Copies of this chain bind each other. A is one copy, B any other.
Amino acid sequence: MATRCPAADKLVRKLRDRHPLSVAEEVALNTLLAAKAGPISGRTVLLDRGMQPSGIHVLLDGWACRYTMLVDGRRRIVAFYLPGDVCDFDVFLLAGMDQTIAAITPARVAVVDAPMLAGLAIDHPPLTQALWWESLTAAAIQRAWTLNVGQRSAKQRIAHLLCELYLRMDRVGLVQDGSCALPLTQFHLGDACALTSIHTNRALQELRRDGLLSLEARRLTIHDWPALVDLAAFDPAYLQLSKEPGTSGDRAALD
């Protein structure tokens, strides 16, 4: 088993980035992920109010989001899930809530039996630590969203969200040459930043005009990271990364 990083390993990669795991632990977790993994098409609903939860969903590839539909038909996205993300640590809590988790793109999803994961974690304290940390990071991201949505201009909100997504993609090795996939429509971005898609559009145009980034054909390219970070008042501390963006993209090629 090489140190390469195939799709199934993105979660493990993230976890061991902060907490060393034994080989046995990594293998056990990967085995659990592989046990019940399969492809789904875009827009597939993974979990919805009243749905009988079949387990915890881990994204191996592709994007998903968590949203609530309001009475007036508007959609509010409260989280994006990227490759390697655990979508619903809170399956059982979520089942009673008015929220939906759905794929945005075609994706590969592992469905993990919750008690089995809990058992594995109990047998391996480092794994408990790592998963605990992962969920605390998710909570920190959530707080950053609360802040972002509440207190910035449209331009800043979009910029902040893009900074975050860019670094999260980098964290799982999906940034190359200053760009990464970003399979979101302006509706998605707007629904996540509490803006209309129209205003999102105008904000994006400004960001492009300023030469900070380009976003086309579902691909985000950062042209001026420092300026973007400055504009967005983006403090990456909450993502718990150890390294600068763009320095890790090719690690898989070193083997």
Contacts and interface: CB of A to CB of B under 8 A. Distances in A.
13 contacts: A76-B150, A76-B151, A89-B136, A90-B136, A93-B240, A98-B235, A98-B237, A122-B125, A135-B135, A139-B139, A146-B149, A149-B149, A149-B194
Interface of A: 66, 68, 70-71, 74, 76, 78-79, 89-90, 93, 96-99, 118, 122, 125, 128-129, 132-133, 135-140, 142-143, 145-147, 149-151, 193-194, 233, 235, 237-238, 240
Given A97-B235, A132-B132, A237-B97, A70 B140 contact: no
Contact of A142 (B93, B118, B142): B142
How many identical chains are in the complex?
Answer: 2
Contacts of A194: 149-151
Contacts of A79: 143
A69 to B, nearest CB: 11
A97 B238 contact: yes
A136 B93 contact: yes
A98 B144 CA distance: 11
* Max count, chain B CB within 10 A of own CB: residue among A70, A90, A118: A90
Contacts of A70: 151, 233
A147 B78 contact: yes
Given A70-B233, A135-B136, A76 B147 contact: yes
* Max count, chain B CB within 10 A of own CB: residue among A89, A138, A140: A140
